[in-house]
Structure 1
Amino acid sequence: MHTPIRALAAATLAITTLGAQAAPSAVVPPTVQLGPRPFFLVDDMADSPLKTALQACAAGRKAYTRHDFAIGHRGASLQFPEHTRESYVAAARMGAGIVECDVVFTKDKQLVCRHAQDDLHTTTNILATPLAAKCVKPFTPATFDAAGNLLTPASASCRTSELTLAEFKTLRGKMDGYNPKARTVAEYMAGTPGWRTDLYSGPTSGTLMTHKESIELFKQLGVKMTPELKYPAVAMPFDGFTQEAYAQKLIDEYKAARVPPARVFPQSFYLPDIQYWVQNTAYGKQAVYLDDAATPADLPNAAELAGYKAQGINIVAPPIFALLTTDAAGNIVPSQYAKDAKAAGLDIISWSLERSGILADGNNGSYYQTFDSAIHREGDMLLVLDVLARQVGIRGMFSDWPATPAFYANCMK
């Protein structure tokens, strides 16, 4: 009874410390282990041929493999602090074939993995450390009126560009979130949404990473890479560091690590970044132009999508809502944007699955805004994924819990 437990602990330790203790050639990528969530979603589906097919797969399949259809959005950020070693390893373990490092820079112009240059106050423990003194906006507690109603929410702003790389590496990642009613730093940091968890945010986890470290880890884990160049929160050039130099530095770190362009999908919401990569690097062939549309009215039309293709852009990545709508019978179907993108010859990746909390309570936010009337239960997530995969024809799905699209891709091929 004790030997298997020790063996499992040793295997787990090997995976979670592989960057520090093993050379890339000595590391065996982790076996894919989906865990219970995809099967919970299948069981929760309304009866349908899709449910029957997925149930048959779940009952008959003995092993699952990693799949490029499943993209680890900030790693496995539904439960692990985003852009940490632990989150990345979890994403690879649950079948992500591609894992994301959002890229920002430090004061000494080193590239690190964070979702935004100015999110350290919500994604790390900086406010509880002496480095809080370097935040561009210190923690300010919430204020209330005499009846206890919130007047001004608690706030702070802390940037990677205020820290050296050495300082950044002393921080620990935490689950993204904050408490707007906080009167203290501790209350402010305790703002994780109820449908996530702080179970993996302890003082010995949440290991922050440089972009270079993420590349080496991903090589060892056997996954492809999708770095997103985040638009800076500071004016550019930053101490002589231009936007073009920033975009080139990202590519240079893959070249230095001998990662071929076919294994990298550089992304940006900023069109000049994409144009720079297309025009100046071999990595531009797989550059992903992210669309930050907030509503359907913000989406590009058919002519604009065709214009992207004419510029050498091959992949677009809009949010889920951009690709789906409902028909007269209330069924989820491809949107006009989806049809126009395909007609333009563009490949499509979408974002982000497992990021809207509980679905059955309705009101599922931005990602579901064009088809929320058709969502009634947690299992409908797999219905959404099926329409995106088989009717829209997306090539990949960003997910905060990549076991879900990995399961789907293994079963539906």
Structure 2
Amino acid sequence: MKNIVSFGVLFSIFATGSVMAADPVTLGPRPFYLVADMDSGPLKEKLEACFSNSPKKSTFSIGHRGASLQFPEHTKESYVAAAQMGAGIIECDVTFTKDKQLVCRHSQNDLHTTTDVLAYPKLAEKCTVPFTPANPQTGEKATAECRTSDFTLDEFRQLKGKMDGANPMATTPEEYMKGTADFRTDLYASRGTLMTHAESIALLKSLGVKMTPELKEPKVPMPYNGFTQRDYAQKMIDEYKEAGVKALDVYPQSFNTDDVDYWVANEPEFGQQSVYLDSRMYDDESWKSSLKDMKALKESGVGYISPPLYALVTVDEKGNIAPSDYAKHAKAAGLGIITWTLERSGHLGNGGGWYYQSVKDVINNDGDVMTLLDVLAQDVGVVGVFSDWPATTTFYANCMGLE
């Protein structure tokens, strides 16, 4: 196999947190395991023929929170792992601290499940909702809510990232923090170096990858101590400009169309690559896509639209995975399409879970990941796929000649 990287290179990467663009990409066994698990057919044969290829970086492969299937999300270690697996674009979800400093977290109020904050009593008592133990007699679950805005940046830096999860029946903070899903691992969770947004930019720049920051919804009322939503949206872009990152290397994301509109109007070089994260299909189950609506988004300046996997596919009359009406409308309107999140559902023997809900009747084994990925790339025409384990998308992209 040609996808082997030396121990010395890996040690250097994790010790220094940087990697030169010429350093080799390594995929590990998972893509090959998934191909082996596929149903027999032409696609499986084509992918098997690529086993000896030398892997390389691809912007089709987007590291979702880094490589969060196995590494604590939004940590230095997770980002480095994603780059080493060939992710050409890596995500920092952006939120802010009590002193209005931008940091990488999936949500402003997830520190109780993604960090070890509850291990520090003096910090834990500052949480919006301090830890309350479960009551085994009544069945009442444990609760906690710790926000980045509960802490200054200096306090935030004291924390370590852990695998996202919590034990709802915990009676102690230590038990509560032990909630890693059984298809993930704590093997790489001992370091979990948290990062500011600016630090992530410097790291990802050194890794030679492009960047896709997501402006997260604040969980505190805005304006926050004079910090408006527009200030927030602008500060995120300013940190790329201050770091000398080219606008073409940044894909700013938001579920809030007002943020996208702001970037289009006020930072057009960045705004032309803006990504509208579309949640309408699950916010309102009666909502239906239309070509008129997609054209309106395109005309407003949206560069890319990004819904969950299931919104882009359906099962056709022959029982095959096929593009949905949503996918057809977005493509006809000339929108770039990105989707999320591959490798986030654990084992697929049960239909794949939430991300696969529109095609669950034809999902029955882990190898179906590759079948879905092929439909997304070849029939829907997505230009990028977020994945919790970028090696999978990198392998597919390399095999199919996707840059």
TM interval, shorter chain, is: over 0.9
Matches within 5 A, 1:380-395: 380-395=368-383
For residues 363 and 320 of structure 1, the distance between their equivalents in structure 2, rounded to whole angstroms, comes to 14
For residues 193 and 364 of structure 1, the distance between their equivalents in structure 2, rounded to whole angstroms, comes to 15
Kindly provide the amino acid, as one letter, of the partner of residue 57 in structure 1.
C
- Kindly state the Cα deviation for residue 299 of structure 1 after the two structures are TM-superposed: 5.0
Report the TM-score when normalising by structure 1. Answer: 0.92
Alpha-carbon spacing, 1:243–1:300, altered in 2? closer, same or farther (3 Å): farther
Q: Which residue of 2 aligns with 1:218?
A: 204
Q: Which residue of 2 aligns with 1:97?
A: 88
Kindly provide the amino acid, as one letter, of the partner of residue 83 in structure 2.
A
Q: Secondary structure at the match of 2:286?
A: helix
Task: State whether residues 120 and 160 of structure 1, in contact with CA within 8 Å, keep that contact through their aligned partners in structure 2.
Answer: yes
Task: State whether residues 41 and 379 of structure 1, in contact with CA within 8 Å, keep that contact through their aligned partners in structure 2.
Answer: yes
Alpha-carbon spacing, 1:175–1:30, altered in 2? closer, same or farther (3 Å): farther
- Kindly state the Cα deviation for residue 296 of structure 1 after the two structures are TM-superposed: 5.7
> Is 2:9 the counterpart of 1:11?
yes
Task: State whether residues 299 and 322 of structure 1, in contact with CA within 8 Å, keep that contact through their aligned partners in structure 2.
Answer: no
For residues 80 and 226 of structure 1, the distance between their equivalents in structure 2, rounded to whole angstroms, comes to 19
> Is 2:271 the counterpart of 1:284?
yes
- Kindly state the Cα deviation for residue 154 of structure 1 after the two structures are TM-superposed: 1.0
The structure 2 residue matched to 1:249, chosen from 235, 248, 251, is 235
Report the TM-score when normalising by structure 2. Answer: 0.95
Task: Describe the superposition over 1:263-321 as per-residue Cα deviations: whole angstroms up to 9, x where unpaired.
Answer: 00000001100000011102001000001232763454322211101101120000000
Alpha-carbon spacing, 1:70–1:132, altered in 2? closer, same or farther (3 Å): same
> Is 2:315 the counterpart of 1:326?
yes
For residues 36 and 308 of structure 2, the distance between their equivalents in structure 1, rounded to whole angstroms, comes to 26
The structure 1 residue matched to 2:327, chosen from 334, 338, 360, is 338
For residues 96 and 183 of structure 1, the distance between their equivalents in structure 2, rounded to whole angstroms, comes to 40
For residues 41 and 367 of structure 2, the distance between their equivalents in structure 1, rounded to whole angstroms, comes to 11
The structure 1 residue matched to 2:46, chosen from 40, 53, 69, is 53
For residues 8 and 57 of structure 1, the distance between their equivalents in structure 2, rounded to whole angstroms, comes to 21
> Is 2:137 the counterpart of 1:110?
no
Task: State whether residues 89 and 210 of structure 2, in contact with CA within 8 Å, keep that contact through their aligned partners in structure 1.
Answer: yes
> Is 2:68 the counterpart of 1:83?
no
Alpha-carbon spacing, 1:355–1:143, altered in 2? closer, same or farther (3 Å): same
> Is 2:148 the counterpart of 1:160?
yes
For residues 117 and 29 of structure 1, the distance between their equivalents in structure 2, rounded to whole angstroms, comes to 36
Q: Which residue of 2 aligns with 1:4?
A: none
Kindly provide the amino acid, as one letter, of the partner of residue 199 in structure 1.
L
Task: Describe the superposition over 1:43-88 as per-residue Cα deviations: whole angstroms up to 9, x where unpaired.
Answer: 0000010000000111x31x11000000000000000000000000
For residues 296 and 346 of structure 1, the distance between their equivalents in structure 2, rounded to whole angstroms, comes to 23
> Is 2:220 the counterpart of 1:227?
no
Task: State whether residues 289 and 325 of structure 2, in contact with CA within 8 Å, keep that contact through their aligned partners in structure 1.
Answer: no
Alpha-carbon spacing, 1:296–1:379, altered in 2? closer, same or farther (3 Å): farther
For residues 35 and 172 of structure 2, the distance between their equivalents in structure 1, rounded to whole angstroms, comes to 42
Alpha-carbon spacing, 1:236–1:29, altered in 2? closer, same or farther (3 Å): farther
Q: Which residue of 2 aligns with 1:173?
A: 161
Q: Secondary structure at the match of 2:139?
A: strand
Q: Which residue of 2 aligns with 1:138?
A: 130
> Is 2:114 the counterpart of 1:123?
yes
Kindly provide the amino acid, as one letter, of the partner of residue 230 in structure 2.
E
Q: How many residues align?
A: 393
- Kindly state the Cα deviation for residue 18 of structure 1 after the two structures are TM-superposed: 2.9
For residues 377 and 296 of structure 1, the distance between their equivalents in structure 2, rounded to whole angstroms, comes to 27
- Kindly state the Cα deviation for residue 9 of structure 1 after the two structures are TM-superposed: 5.1
The gaps in structure 2 that reach 5 residues or longer are: none
Kindly provide the amino acid, as one letter, of the partner of residue 201 in structure 2.
I
Task: State whether residues 113 and 165 of structure 2, in contact with CA within 8 Å, keep that contact through their aligned partners in structure 1.
Answer: yes
For residues 235 and 300 of structure 1, the distance between their equivalents in structure 2, rounded to whole angstroms, comes to 31
Q: Secondary structure at the match of 2:94?
A: strand
Alpha-carbon spacing, 1:30–1:170, altered in 2? closer, same or farther (3 Å): farther
| CA RMSD, 1 decimal | 1.5
Q: Which residue of 2 aligns with 1:183?
A: 171
The gaps in structure 1 that reach 5 residues or longer are: 1-6
Task: State whether residues 94 and 213 of structure 2, in contact with CA within 8 Å, keep that contact through their aligned partners in structure 1.
Answer: yes
Kindly provide the amino acid, as one letter, of the partner of residue 376 in structure 2.
L
- Kindly state the Cα deviation for residue 142 of structure 1 after the two structures are TM-superposed: 1.3
